[in-house]
Amino acid sequence: MADEPGGGGCSLQDYPTIDPTSFDVVLCGTGLPESVLAAACAAAGKTVLHVDPNPFYGSLFSSLPLPSLPSFLSSSSGSVPSPSSSATTLSTTSYAVVDLHRRSLYSEVETSGTVPELSRRITVDLVGPRVLYCADEGVDLLLRSGGSHHVEFKSVEGGTLLYWEGGLYPVPDSRQAIFKDTTLQLKEKNLLFRFFKLVQTHIAASSAGAEVGEGEASGKLPEEDLDLPFIEFLKKQHLSPKMRAVVLYAIAMADYGQDGAHSCEKLLTTREGIKTIALYSSSIGRFANAEGAFIYPMYGHGELPQAFCRCAAVKGALYVLRMPATALLVDEGKKRYVGTRLASGQDILCQQLILDPSYEIPSLDMPCNAPVSNSPRKVARGICIISSSVKQDSLNVLVVFPPKSLEEEQVAAVRVLQLSSNLAVCPPGMFMVYLSTPCADAFTGKKYINKAIEILFTTKASDDPEGHLEITSENNKEVKPTLIWSCVYVQEITEGTTTLSCPMPDENLDYRSILESTKKLFAEICPNDEFLPRNSAPKYADDDSDSAE
Amino acid sequence: MAANAGNKIRNAKLVLLGDVGAGKSSLVLRFVKGQFVEFQESTIGAAFFSQTLAVNDETVKFEIWDTAGQERYHSLAPMYYRGAAAAIVVYDITNPASFTRAKKWVQELQAQGNPSTVVALAGNKADLLETRKVQIEEAKTYAQENRLFFMETSAKTAINVNDIFYEIAKRLLQGQPAQNPQAGMVLTQRPNERLVSASSCCS
């Protein structure tokens, strides 16, 4: 949230002086990776200073009130005002000062429609569409750190819909769902059952441990099958093209077309596909109140960094918002960073420095001039406000447009997440919708986001016969939701090139890859410490752990 | 925090606000543990404390959130205020600046919190009468104008500490149960967790 927390009365030029001036770890930016690192470092007993240039938590992972979105997307670039930077080749200091610059990750921002009333009650995610699997690393970290106590979740209870041949079909992701499905033929159902059973047996055998043996009798799939492209494996199981799309894009969440026609991108192996299916299946039913595999944090994804920051603070980390870092302090002898200069002009020394990815990291050899060598990945994102649900009687729903479903040239899936007011992200009577697709160029990415928006919503609230979208399972025509407001933009994703920089919000539906990188960063910062060990949750005095709903 | 209608236990999140050194943690420790430490460390290392209080035949179960030091550089997260049924804004009667800051915290709370939050103003360190700088009348007037209830407390001598929590509990019970129909689920580690669930897609 961009509300000024913490008392106000503090103008931007009125920077406080921080005491002490030396820490084990200094982190700049309060995005999810930095916040998790802060919690992990504090739990490992490090002294931690955590600063953020913004007056709110979350950086590139925050949730903003709608009115603050345009300025956030257009700002956060340029050099940080550095009050006294160049004037400090003081003879007393044993380090050099290298100015820091910040860059904007966002481009091609286009908004349309009318901002609804009560827009301050609308909270928008910068990382959408995104969810957590009930059994993923993000949930485990929340539980291990104690952060789970600070965030409430709700299910994406409407499940997943697949856009296929002009209609939206519910994704049969469980035995009951396959039974209940009215759109599948009996033969399709049987093949799908058999496929799931095969995979399930493999997962059970693999998790039972190696001692069972490797043979066919163990129920494990043979190695050559696991190394096969997943699509080939699905073909071997005689799944129809639609069922293959269900498994590949709506359950295994593949980004790119797997048909091989595009020679390209990433062909999922059976091993990788099954890994995600295993996560998906262990997510279903993990929490008694969660329907389906996915959950979403109430008040938006920006709550997650706040929760980890609070865990860090409880363990002694020091927090300063509204405090940009303006320069790196470099020990010229050792060629390493020894600290950072803050906007207040104060120099803070540290063993480890971590910056959020909006800071450009100058390389040690050629300061201030480190062009990104390869062209960065991009993700096109859309944020919409709509009048009614895309799926009758459902509040929170995921929709997947598989590759080629929008047009033949479409190489990447478009994922869509609809959220309702029950998540406290918007007032009743409207829904928030997030869309994303990875793209090579901005034009293509935005084209597919806009196409998906056109298919799902109508811009006019009328009885226009075109305003209908067939929900085949319901056997009746439903009126398309009306689009009230939308914003489409492109975000670039560059991999951190140094150990200094945390990962950016990526094109994925979940945080797995981001948290994997974060874990690696932690291993470099604290090689001898466990990453948020299970007992690192703060002790709750007199807590009789009755927090279960 | 939803009310438990069955056995008349009301769960209530209570947040502490106030300047560094006003005595927030000391008040909590006195109330929860009956302890006082002269030189309390800034960070007490607990995300929150739980304490129940009986008022007549009803019970309020407080979940008391301390700032964990995030107020030091005015960096409290919105999450801190969310769902707070009650707040105690603490200042130090020997420190006028802390009283000025307390007023800012009240404003902050009114901006962030919900209007039904029960807000108490606590003039702490009331045992240090000889170095008092904030007059009781001034604080009383301010509290009345802003519809807070006010007490001077001493975590050291325990004066009014239980009383202020008791008064909050009473006021919470007088008000409507905090209705939060939107309450979501809190994730908890379940003993019955299995890697593969019966209802999973692959069963």
- Measured between CA atoms, how close is A538 to chain B, in angstroms? 6
Return d(Cα A520, Cα A522) in angstroms, integer.
5
Per-residue DSSP letters for A379-397?
EEEEEEEESS-SSTT-SSE
| Cross-chain CB nearest to A538 (options B46, B104, B188) | B46
Q: Cβ–Cβ of A286/B203 closer than 8 Å? A: no
Burial class (CB in 10 A: 0-12, 13-18, 19+), A527: exposed
B75–A306 CB contact, under 8 Å? no
Nearest residue of chain A to residue B52 (CA atoms)? A542
The shortest C-alpha distance from B146 to chain A (Å) reads 17
What is the model's pLDDT at position A544?
41
B198 touches chain A (CB under 8 A): yes
Distance from CA of A286 to the nearest CA of B (A): 6
Identify the burial level of B102 via C-beta atoms within 10 angstroms of its C-beta, where 0-12 means exposed, 13-18 middle and 19 or more buried. buried
Which residue in chain B is spatially nearest to A427 when comparing CA positions?
Answer: B182
Contact B200 A285 (CB under 8 A): yes
DSSP A250: I
**Which residues of chain A does B76 touch, with a Cβ-Cβ cutoff of 8 Å?**
5-7
pLDDT at A93: 63
Q: Which candidate from B43, B79, B188 shows the least CB-CB separation from A310? A: B79
Instruction: Give the lowest-confidence range in A110-114, A308-312, B96-100, B182-186.
Output: B182-186
- Compute the distance between CA of residue A89 and CA of residue B188 in angstroms, rounded to an integer: 53
Average pLDDT over residues A392-405: 95
Q: Do B46 and A545 touch (CB under 8 A)?
A: no
What angle separates helix A303-314 from helix A137-145, to the nearest 10 degrees? 30
pLDDT at site B146: 93
The residues in B 155-174 lying below 8 A from A, measured between CB atoms, are: none
Give the chain B residue nearest A546 (alpha carbons): B188
Tell me how far apart the alpha carbons of residues A154 and A300 are, in angstroms, rounded to a whole number. Answer: 11
> Best interface-test mutation with B: which of A282, A304, A539 has the largest number of B CBs within 10 A?
A282
Asked whether A194 and A237 are in contact (CB, 8 A), the reply is yes
A-facing residues of B in 12-71 (CB < 8 A) are 32-33, 43, 45-51, 68-71
Cross-strand bridge partners of residue B122: B90, B151
Q: Number of A to B CB contacts under 8 A, please give it.
A: 208
Whole-model pTM? Answer: 0.89
Beta carbons of B50 and A541 less than 8 Å apart: yes
| Dist. CA A486–CA A110, nearest whole Å | 8
B191 touches chain A (CB under 8 A): no
pLDDT at position A158: 93
Angstroms from B136 CA to nearest CA on chain A? 23
User: Which ranges in A163-269 belong to alpha helices (H)?
Assistant: 175-180, 186-207, 223-227, 230-236, 241-245
* Between A209 and B200, residue with greater pLDDT: A209
**A479 vs chain B: nearest CA distance in angstroms?**
27
Residue B200: the pLDDT is 37
Contact B47 A310 (CB under 8 A): yes
For the segment A451-480, the average pLDDT, to the nearest whole number, is 66
- Nearest residue on chain B to A286, alpha-carbon basis: B193
Neighbours of A17 (CB within 10 A): 10
pLDDT value of position A501: 86
Scanning A407-436 for CB atoms below 8 A from B yields 422-424
Amino acid A175: pLDDT: 80
Start-to-end CA distance of chain A, whole Å, equals: 26
Q: How much is the average pLDDT of B32-59?
A: 79
Q: Show which of residues 109-138 on chain A sit within 8 Å of chain B, judged by CB atoms.
A: none
CA distance A426 to B196: 35
Average pLDDT of the residues in A198-223:
77
Q: How far is A3 from chain B (nearest CA, A)?
A: 8
Distance CA A303, CA A58 (A): 8
Interchain CB distance below 8 Å, B197 and A57: no
- State the smallest CA–CA distance between residue B68 and chain A in angstroms: 5
Q: Is B104 on the interface with A (CB under 8 A)?
A: yes
Q: Cβ B68–A280 below 8 Å, yes or no?
A: no
Asked if A269 has any chain B CB less than 8 Å from its own CB, the reply is no
Predicted ipTM of the assembly: 0.87
Of A112, A10, A127, A3, nearest to A68 (Cα)? Answer: A3
Do A150 and B79 make contact, defined as CB atoms within 8 angstroms? yes
Residue numbers in A near B47 (CB within 8 A): 146, 149-150, 310-311, 314, 538, 540
**H or E segment and range at residue A141:** helix A137-145
Please give the backbone phi and psi of residue A335, each rounded to the nearest 5 degrees, phi first: 55, 45
What pLDDT is recorded for position A305? 97
Say whether residue B7 is in contact with chain A using an 8 A CB cutoff.
Answer: no
pLDDT confidence band for A368 (50 / 70 / 90): very low
Question: To the nearest whole angstrom, how far is the Cα of B130 from the nearest Cα of chain A?
Answer: 29
Q: Does A149 contact B47 at a Cβ distance shorter than 8 Å?
A: yes
Provide the shortest C-alpha distance from residue A532 to chain B (in Å).
Answer: 15
Spatial distance between the Cα atoms of A43 and A318, rounded to a whole number of angstroms:
13
Distance from CA of B51 to the nearest CA of A (A): 7
Strand, coil or helix: A153: strand
- What average pLDDT does range B76-94 have in this prediction? 92
Distance CA A256, CA A225 (A): 21
What pLDDT is stored for residue B172 in this prediction?
92
Kindly indicate the confidence band of residue B43, based on its pLDDT and cuts at 50, 70 and 90: low
pLDDT (tens digit per residue) in A412-427: 999 999 999 999 999 9
Determine the Cα–Cα distance for residues B151 and B140; give it in Å rounded to an integer: 8
Q: Does A224 touch chain B (CB under 8 A)?
A: no
Q: Is A88 on the interface with B (CB under 8 A)?
A: no
Question: pLDDT band at residue A103, thresholds of 50, 70 and 90?
Answer: confident
> CA-to-CA distance for A403 and A390, rounded, in angstroms?
20
B150 at the A interface (CB within 8 A)?
no
Contact between chains at A313 and B80 (C-beta distance less than 8 A): no
pLDDT at B12 over 60: yes
Query: Cα–Cα distance between A434 and A280 in angstroms, integer?
Result: 21
How far, rounded to the nearest angstrom, does the alpha carbon of residue B163 sit from its chain's CA centroid?
14
Q: Among A35-44, A270-279, A330-339, A519-528, where is mean pLDDT lowest?
A: A330-339
Please tell me which of the candidates B47, B184, B194 has its beta carbon nearest to residue A152: B184
pLDDT value of residue A538: 55
Point out the residue among B48, B78, B201 whose CB comes nearest to the CB of A174.
Answer: B201
